[in-house]
Amino acid sequence: MKTKILKIKIPTDRKILIAAKIIQRGDLVAFPTETVYGLGANALSAKSVRKIFVAKKRPFDDPLIVHVSNEEQVYELAKGVNLRSKLLMDNFWPGPLTLVLEKSKKVPSITTGGLRTVAIRMPAHKIAHALIEKAKVPIAAPSANLFGKPSPTNARDVFEDLNGRIDCIIDGGTTTIGVESTILDVSSQRAVLLRPGKISTEQIEKIIGKIDQHTLIKKKGFNKGQRGGQVAKAPGMKYKHYAPQGFVILIEESTNFWTQVRSILPHYKNKKVGIITSTKGKKHHGAVVKFLGKTPQMAARNIFKIFREFDRKGVEVAIVQGISEKGLGAAVMNRVRKAADKIEG
Ligand code: TXA
Ligand code: MG
């Protein structure tokens, strides 16, 4: 299959219609959102959604997020949308918050990986919004990477993974946030944070009060590593994710980082080593050193980009300096911990 690339800068560009038609005829379009690029298909067509799993080589039990352009679509897709969900939508949509709700019959079971719930979000990105609107259907879209690889933050990343496997890529430039949306399960009485993202726990709690943190997110659980037998609440969370090809070592405690690096390096003498640090301008003999960024925002924008750069350079061991978990820092650390493979199913 030849992958068509549409360069689109503004949401009124008529090329959006070409992409919308591809969705309508049941095929796949990768498109930018404010978080990462998504790989979209008509969420209501089982046949179309199946193509997403095949193109990404994604396991069928890992459910997708359904993207909407207006609130009416939520009521079509979900049941039991109560005041709490409504408050969250009013405060954070359009934007990087995904809500897990009880699904309606309209949503094919393949879209939700067989679950009785459906994950929904209304993206803030103008091109994503225009695409959903013109396609006139909700769009199921996981991140537009091959399964297990870092999420794509620009069209080139998508091309690298999916060229020849999908029909179309909308090139709308680099995404601004750089890590995936916050996922909040509001399908039962206690709201549970399933994945940290740009919308923080504090922001959510200001609106709906105390929420639970899923055990796979809690720091202690990660450090100890989860043992087999535990059912992952967000099914995607049980898989190794977001990872570069190389082996990832996360040094959680960021003080003495360079001392620790010096003690680790002799063990990897014959390997290509990459280092991700929050110290600007640092060099280290024999290693590729990348600056993660001064702020949590910059770190979020850079983390997947650097993982992908390491892959291009053939980095075999990546040593990462932990950052503070304030704001987006929590999301960045969550992704790095997963890449460091601290979670088992
Ligand atoms: O920012 C984002 O959320 C991006 C953009 C494209 O919107 N999308 C994204 O999708 O990150 P994906 O598939 O890479 O991650 C979706 C996560 C998976 O871990 C999946 O298990 C979880 O959402 N998920 C989806 N439906 C769920 C459900 N019904 N219950 C619990 N978790 C669910
Ligand atoms: Mg993903």
Is the shortest distance between the CB of 181 and ligand 1 below 6 Å? yes
- Model pLDDT for residues 82-105, shown as the tens digit of each residue: 999 999 999 999 999 999 999 999
What ligand is nearest to the CA atom of residue 30?
A: 1
pLDDT value for 281: 92
Question: What is the pLDDT at residue 32?
Answer: 98
Task: Indicate the pLDDT class of residue 245, thresholds 50, 70 and 90.
Answer: confident
In terms of Cα–Cα distance, which of 140, 124, 64, 151 is closest to 331?
Answer: 151
pLDDT in tens, 193-215: 999 999 999 999 999 999 999 87
Mean pLDDT of the chain: 91
**CA-based nearest residue to 40, from 11, 68, 13:** 68
Output the pLDDT for position 246: 85
Residue 340 CB–ligand 1 contact under 6 Å: no
> Hey, which of 180, 185, 193 would you mutate to test ligand 1's pocket, going by the most ligand atoms within 8 Å of its Cβ?
180
pLDDT(236) > 80:
no
Q: For 157-165, what is the mean pLDDT? A: 98
CA distance 324 to 81: 35
pLDDT of residue 142: 98
Q: What's the rounded mean pLDDT across residues 208-232?
A: 58
pLDDT at 221 over 90: no
Query: Residue 73: is its pLDDT beyond 70?
Result: yes
Q: Does the pLDDT of residue 4 top 70, yes or no? A: yes
Peptide bond connecting 96 to the previous residue in cis, omega within 30 degrees of 0: no
pLDDT of residue 345: 27
DSSP one-letter string for 193-234: EEE--SS-HHHHHHHH---EE-TTTSHHHHHH-PPTTPPPSS
Name the band, by pLDDT with cuts 50, 70 and 90, for residue 239: low
Return the ligand 1 atom nearest residue 237 CA.
Answer: 19
- How many angstroms separate the CA atoms of 335 and 341, rounded? 10
Sheet holding 273-277, edge to edge: 247-251, 317-321, 273-277, 287-291
Contact (CB, 8 A) for 99 and 121: yes
DSSP E strand stretches across 278-330: 287-291, 317-321
pLDDT for the residue numbered 240: 59
Assign 228 a pLDDT band (cuts: 50, 70, 90): very low
SS3 content of the chain, % helix, strand, coil (to 5): 35, 20, 45
Position 223 scores a pLDDT of 35
Q: What is the pLDDT of residue 226?
A: 36
The tens digit of pLDDT for each residue in 125-134 reads 999 999 999 9
Give the C-alpha separation, 55 to 259, whole Å.
Answer: 43
Q: How far is CA 165 from CA 138, 146, 158, 220, in A?
A: 22, 10, 11, 39
pLDDT 10s digits, 130-150: 999 999 999 999 999 999 999
Q: Name the residue with the closest Cα to ligand 1, atom 17.
A: 236
Which atom belonging to ligand 1 lies closest to the Cα atom of 145? 14
What's the pLDDT at 218? 54
Residue 116's pLDDT band, with cuts at 50, 70 and 90, is very high
Mean pLDDT of 231-248: 65
Q: d(Cα 165, Cα 157) in Å, to the nearest integer? A: 14
Q: Which atom of ligand 1 lies nearest, measured to the CA of 151?
A: 14
Please list, in sequence order, all residues whose beta carbon lies within 8 angstroms of the beta carbon of residue 172, skipping any fewer than 6 positions away. 8, 9, 31, 32, 125, 127, 155
Give the relative orientation of helices 328-339 and 296-313 as an angle to the nearest 10 degrees: 20
AA identity, residue 122? M
Cα–Cα distance between 210 and 35 in angstroms, integer? 25
Atom of ligand 1 nearest to the CA of 65: 25
Tens of pLDDT, residue by residue over 259-312, are 999 999 999 999 999 999 999 999 988 899 999 999 999 999 999 999 999 999
Ligand 1 pocket, residue 63 CB under 6 Å:
yes
Burial class (CB in 10 A: 0-12, 13-18, 19+), 256: exposed
Query: Quick one: average pLDDT of 319-339?
Result: 94
Q: What is the pLDDT of residues 12-51, one digit of tens each?
A: 999 999 999 999 999 999 999 999 999 999 999 999 999 9
The structure's pTM equals 0.93
d(CA 339, CA 120): 25
Q: Is the beta carbon of 193 within 6 A of some atom in ligand 1?
A: no
Contact 198, 177 (CB under 8 A): yes
